[in-house]
Structure formats: C-alpha cells, structure tokens
Amino acid sequence: MSKFGNYIQEAYDELVHKVSWPSWDELQQTTVIVIVSLIIVTVVIFGMDFIGERVLTTIYNLFGK
C-alpha cells in the first residue's frame, strides 16, 4: 500500500511543481485552433462522402442496378 501512496504523492508533486500549465490566453487560442481544424476536417470528409455518393450513384445508374 505504501507504493501506491508514493505513486499518488509523486504524481501530485509532478502536476503541481513540474508541469507548465498554459495561460488563459494560450488555452483560448489553442481551443479556437482545434475547433477551426475540426470544422475544416468535417467539411472535407462531408465533401468526400458527398462526391463519392454522387459518383457511385452515377456508375450504378449507367450500368443498371
């Protein structure tokens, strides 16, 4: 049980004393970057899905169902 206690104490010490936490401004900036990136990737995937559906529908209609 003492190993577990040591682990918890070391983890706490590392989080409090050794980790450099971002400032509020940095946190907001990175959050905006992540959201914009997510929107871009979502639009790209939606576009690929839409185009793929149209291409396959056209192929199926040309060669019969």
- The CA distance from 44 to 59, in Å, is 22
How far apart, in whole angstroms, are the C-alpha atoms of residue 12 and residue 49? 46
* Separation between Cα atoms, residue 30 and residue 27, nearest integer Å: 5
pLDDT digits (tens, 9 = 90+) for 17-52: 999 999 999 999 999 999 999 999 999 999 999 999
Structure tokens at 12: 């706490």
Domains of the chain: which residue ranges?
32-58
How many CB atoms are closer than 10 A to CB 28?
A: 11
- Provide the residue type at 54 as one letter: R
Distance, in Å, from the CA atom of 48 to the CA atom of 35, rounded to the nearest integer, reads 20
- Give residue 65's pLDDT: 63
